[in-house]
Amino acid sequence: MPSRAPPGSGTAWQHGWWRGAKPRASPNLGARPQGTAITLVILHSISLPPGTYGGADVERLFTNTLDCDAHPFYDALRGLEVSAHFFLRRDGELLQFVSCDERAWHAGRSQWRGRAGCNDWSIGIELEGLEGQAFEPIQYRRLAELLRALARHYPIAEVVGHEHVAPDRKRDPGPGFDWARLARTLRRRRPVLAPLALPRP
């Protein structure tokens, strides 16, 4: 069971690591520009091989230990150095790869509201899934828990998809992600995320 420190106890986060997630350190990270406020959350979807769930290859990709000969699709991933702060599996298990105080490498070339380089001021959450496919109810519940914890600790103002910050080249999390459902799940526990905005479905 993930530990759940009471809000405001000061123990839920340590140096950008959330106690509600299992830590798996990725080497793919960098410093955020000094003084940057973390105001954006970017949601993604990923599964390796695409559409196959429950394996360890996403963890391997984010820790540079993926065997790129193990599947034809992986040839395109050779030498890729990527990461996200969090990976939320379809059974609700949550892994954290990078401290939220650091910059993870998830958004690539991106911009939001005219500001480029979203990795600098965002937190990246990968949902185990495939563009166009639906996500699991427990993923919405765990995602809402995580967003609440993030909003208590960082000045998060908006949650968007990778498809919104890189619309010319990315489609995730895709039409299978139900933004209205996430909004409903978040509304159940006001007021923590009252100011938080989601894209209109």
Catalytically active residues, by annotation: 126
* Contact status: 172 vs Zn ion (CB under 5 A): yes
Instruction: Name the segment binding Zn ion (CB under 5 A); options: 27-35, 49-57, 147-155, 161-169.
Output: 161-169
Instruction: Name the segment binding Zn ion (CB under 5 A); options: 23-31, 43-51, 112-120, 177-185.
Output: 43-51
Given candidates 18, 41, 44, 161, which one binds Zn ion under the rule CB under 5 A? Answer: 44
Instruction: Name the segment binding Zn ion (CB under 5 A); options: 16-24, 152-160, 166-174, 193-201.
Output: 166-174
Please count the residues of this chain forming the interface with Zn ion, following the rule CB under 5 A.
Answer: 3
- Please, is 119 exposed, middle or buried when counting C-beta atoms within 10 Å of its C-beta (0-12, 13-18, 19+)? buried
Residue 142 or 162 with smaller CB distance to Zn ion: 162
Distance CA 135, CA 55 (A): 17
Angle (nearest 5°) at CA 22 between 101 and 38: 20
- Beta-ladder partners of 124: 42
Q: How far apart are the first and last CA of the chain?
A: 32
- Least distance between Zn ion and beta carbon 33 (Å): 22
Residue 57 three-state SS: helix
List of residues contacting Zn ion (CB under 5 A):
44, 162, 172
